[in-house]
Amino acid sequence: MGEFYVCSCFYTHNFYIKELGLHAIYISKEQFLIQYSKVLKQHGYSTDERIQSILSQLENELQRRENLGPAFLHRKSIIREKYKMLHPEIFQLKTEFLQPEFLNLVNYCKQSDATVGGVMQYLEETQVKNVYAFPVFTDSFCRKLIEELAHFEESDCPKGRSNTMNHYGLSMDEVGFNDFITTLRVEYMQHITRLLFPEWGGGNLDSHKAFIVKYKVGEDIDLGYHYDNAEVTLNVSLTDNYQGGSLYFGDMRTVPLPDTECSEYNHVYGVGILHRGQHMHGALPIYSGVRYNLITWMRSSKIRNQLCPMCNNKPDLVKTVGYGDGFTADAQQITDVCSLT
């Protein structure tokens, strides 16, 4: 694995504030209060106390982000030492975990004369343009993975949350599934994405961020409208004992919401959907049961090195650990922030 980086906007942009339903830019308290004064007023944030609660949320999130690298390595080393796996055999991806339809799809895509038209016969209808569905994992694998995740949740190992929008998910890397996801991306998914998303670096997806999202009444029940920090996203449904929780898609992030008509997609157990990371989407509330999905944000440094999808500028690279946000240094200026390495 080469060296990967984050863009410095990671420390200033996309601070999700659920109460305001937005992703904010946070450079300083003064900037935030000026830039968002209207929104704060609209949401009834007039007292110092209420505004202060938003500001401390932002400060905590900034600290979390600044400490992410060291905290991640620390958790990983504790987990590697202490965690007793329930199903050790599932930590390396084996063909038997995959549905025959998925293997047929990948085999078709591997052929040198495979075409976009030809691949359609291996895909399921989603009713959403440019969103493709196909069975991925067997029932038995999904069941074992859920058992493993529950077992991990119950252990006293430290848990790093996957992102700011979902508080009860898990990082697949921390639980020990990084090699599994790398195999899934390189040996399987990349053959499909090369055909379906060539303009999004589908043939050069060189890193990923994979995590579990969990929705349960009393915890997180939905996910706000957003785009992913990914070129292409694979989202596999791992459970079927819940109600509600449909996914909805709008348009690309460049299209304003009022000009967007949303379409819904209902997850199907073991089935994965594939979409462009910048295709806006969200998850509707569940109203019973528990919903777990495996989300793999696949990244192409070739694409993102040109423009950071989070700030829309040429990325200003900062060293980090692991895959960072999937940027690589091709003769670019690197900001060396020692405390973050």
Residue 58 CA, chain-centre distance (Å), reads: 21
C-alpha 19: how far from its chain's center? 21
Burial call 183-195: b when 16+ CB within 10 Å, e when fewer: ebbeebbbbbbbb
Query: Is 212 a binder of ligand AKG (CB under 6 A)?
Result: no
Contact flags string 171-210 toward Fe ion, x per CB under 5 A: ----------------------------------------
Pick from 196, 205, 212, 213 the residue near ligand AKG by CB under 6 A: 213
Among 173, 206, 228, 316, binds ligand AKG (CB under 6 A): 228
Smallest gap from residue 284 Cβ to Fe ion (A): 13
148 touching Fe ion, by CB under 5 A: no
Binding-site member from 293, 305, 320, 328 for ligand AKG (CB under 6 A): 293
CB of 293 to ligand AKG, least distance (A): 5
Shortest approach of ligand AKG to residue 129 CB, angstroms? 17
> How far from chain centre, in Å, is Cα 120?
25
The two three-digit tokens of residue 168, written as one number = 């009860």
Nearer to ligand AKG (CB atom), residue 40 or residue 163: 163
CB 227 within 8 A of CB 280: yes
Q: Cβ 32 to ligand AKG, closest distance in Å?
A: 25
Any contact of residue 223 with ligand AKG (CB under 6 A)? yes
Q: What is the DSSP string of 146-179?
A: HHHHHHHHHSSS----S-SS-SS-EEHHHHT-HH
**Both tokens assigned to 30:** 């003064």
Smallest gap, in angstroms, from Cβ of residue 295 to ligand AKG? 4
Q: Measured between alpha carbons, how far is 61 from 70 in angstroms, rounded to an integer? A: 15
Residue 231 engages Fe ion in binding (rule: CB under 5 A): no
Contact of residue 213 among ligand AKG, Fe ion, none (CB under 5-8 Å per partner type)? ligand AKG
Angle at 207 between CA 300 and CA 64, to 5 degrees: 110
Q: Under the criterion CB under 6 A, does residue 299 sit at the interface with ligand AKG?
A: no
Does 274 engage in binding with ligand AKG (CB under 6 A)?
A: no
List 206, 228, 231, 325, residue binding Fe ion (CB under 5 A)? 228
| 58, 30 contact by CB (below 8 A) | no
Residue among 283, 294, 310, 318 that touches ligand AKG (CB under 6 A): 283
- Contact region for Fe ion (CB under 5 A) — 70-78, 96-104, 227-235, 244-252? 227-235
Residue 18: which of 54, 63, 65, 67 has the closest Cα? 54
Q: Is 13 in the site for ligand AKG (CB under 6 A)?
A: no
Burial of 108 (C-beta count, 10 Å sphere; 0-12/13-18/19+) = middle
* Residue in 316, 56, 35, 325 with CA at minimum distance from that of residue 64: 56
283 binds, among Fe ion, ligand AKG, none (CB under 5 to 8 A by kind): ligand AKG
Quickly count: other Cβ atoms within 10 Å of residue 200's Cβ.
22
Hey, how many other C-beta atoms are within 10 angstroms of the C-beta on 163? 19
Which among ligand AKG, Fe ion, none contacts residue 247 (Cβ within 5 to 8 A by kind)?
A: ligand AKG
Report the nearest approach of ligand AKG to the CB of residue 205 (Å): 16
For ligand AKG, the binding residues (CB under 6 A) are 213, 223, 228, 235, 247, 281, 283, 293, 295
For Fe ion, the binding residues (CB under 5 A) are 228
